[in-house]
Chain A
C-alpha cells in the first residue's frame, strides 16, 4: 500500500502570496489531519477533515483553510502569507475504523521570504 503523499515537498513564496498544499491519504483512509511544525511552536494541529467535512479545527487564523474531496484527497490553503508561516506542513491519514494509528506524510517545507 502506498503511504501518504504530499506535494510539493518544498515551496518558496513571498509575503502576501497565497499557497495551496496537497495531501493524498493512504487508499481507503477517510480522515486527513493537517499539522504545522516550527522550531518555536513545535507540532500544532491545524484541522481535520473526514468525509469532506471539517471535524476539528486548531487555533489558527482564518488565513488557514482546507478542504477534502470525495476521493479523500485534501488540500490546505494559506492566504496572505507572513514570514511566520514558514514551517513544515504535515498531513496525517487515518482509516477512522477505530485504529489509533495515524500515518504521517513526509511534509511540505514552506519558506516565506
Chain B
C-alpha cells in the first residue's frame, strides 16, 4: 500500500469548512483513497473513498487531484462532534485482496466553538 503524509494536527472553527490534506505521491493506478476517523475512545469510522473522481456523501467530500498524488477531505460545516483523528489510507479495492488497512499517524482535528 502506498504511503500517505498528513499534517499532525489542525484547528477548525465550528460551522466553517474543514479541509484536510493528504499526500500520496506513490499511489498506484489501482489504489483507492480511503478516509476514516476516530473519535476519542471509539473505533475508527469510515467516511468516504474514491479512485480518481471527486466524491461526496452525507458526511464529507473527497477531492482528488488529477495526477492522484494528493487529496483533500472536506467537512463542509464542522461541528464539535467532528473533533477526531482523521486517517487517510491508500490501498487496492477491498474484496479478494483482503481488508487490511494500514493506518498512519492521521491528522488530529480540533473543532473550536
Task: Point out residues on A near B: beta carbons under 8 Å.
Answer: 4, 31, 33, 35, 42-45, 48, 50, 55-56, 58, 90, 92, 94, 96, 98-107
Known: A104-B43, A104-B44. A45 touches B100 (CB 8 A): yes
Q: Smallest CB–CB gap between B47 and chain A, Å?
A: 9
Known: A42-B103, A56-B100. A103 touches B94 (CB 8 A): no
Pick the contact of A101: B32, B46, B95, B106 (CB < 8 A): B46
Number of interface residues of B (CB under 8 A): 22
Is B30 in the interface zone, CB < 8 Å from A?
no
Interface residues of B in 12-54 (CB under 8 A from A): 32, 34, 38, 42-46, 49
**What residues of chain B lie closer than 8 Å to A43, measured between beta carbons?**
38, 44, 87, 101, 103
Known: A104-B45, A105-B43. A33 touches B99 (CB 8 A): yes
Instruction: Give the residue among B42, B98, B106 with the most A Cβ atoms within 10 A.
Output: B98
Q: Smallest CB–CB gap between A28 and chain B, Å?
A: 15
- Which secondary structure characterizes the binding site on chain B? loop
Find out whether the CB atom of B43 lies under 8 angstroms from the CB atom of A94. Answer: no
**What residues of chain B lie closer than 8 Å to A107, measured between beta carbons?**
43
**What residues of chain B lie closer than 8 Å to A50, measured between beta carbons?**
98-99
Find out whether the CB atom of B94 lies under 8 angstroms from the CB atom of A106. Answer: no
**What residues of chain B lie closer than 8 Å to A106, measured between beta carbons?**
42-43
Q: Smallest CB–CB gap between A59 and chain B, Å?
A: 11
**What residues of chain A lie closer than 8 Å to B104, measured between beta carbons?**
42
